[in-house]
Amino acid sequence: EELTPEEVRRGLLLGVLSGKIAPVYCGSATHDVGLERLLSAIPRYVPAPDKHPVTATRNGSEIELTSQADGPLGLSVFKTVIDRYVGRMTYVRNFSGTLHKDERLVCTRTGHE
């Protein structure tokens, strides 16, 4: 039996929420190809952080990171760039808490500062 477009969308959303599906979109920002499809897919298939809390491990115990500014700080580093004029820049995804300037952080995976 053939699936309706709504059934396919619902299945994709459930797959992304469970972490079994990672949608991949191809495009070119310089030629403006594929950007419109990507922007329409993000609210449809990417879960909102406030609706789906993330769990993290700290000191051997799991904690829940909700998107609250006064909650425990939870970040994910996704890129570090070294620029000869600016210096080292690290891009992060903030799941919870507030990051302050010159704050010293520890990687929970390695234990290094």
What is the per-residue pLDDT for 54?
A: 74
**For 25-34, which contacts have Cβ atoms below 8 Å and span 24 or more sequence positions?**
none
pLDDT digits (tens, 9 = 90+) for 28-56: 878 888 888 888 888 888 766 666 667 77
pTM score over 0.95? no
Token pair listed for 113: 């500062």
Query: How far is residue 16 from each of residues 45, 57, 62, measured CA to CA in Å?
Result: 7, 22, 22
What is the per-residue pLDDT for 51?
A: 63
pLDDT digits (tens, 9 = 90+) for 71-96: 888 888 888 899 999 998 888 888 88
What is the per-residue pLDDT for 52?
A: 64
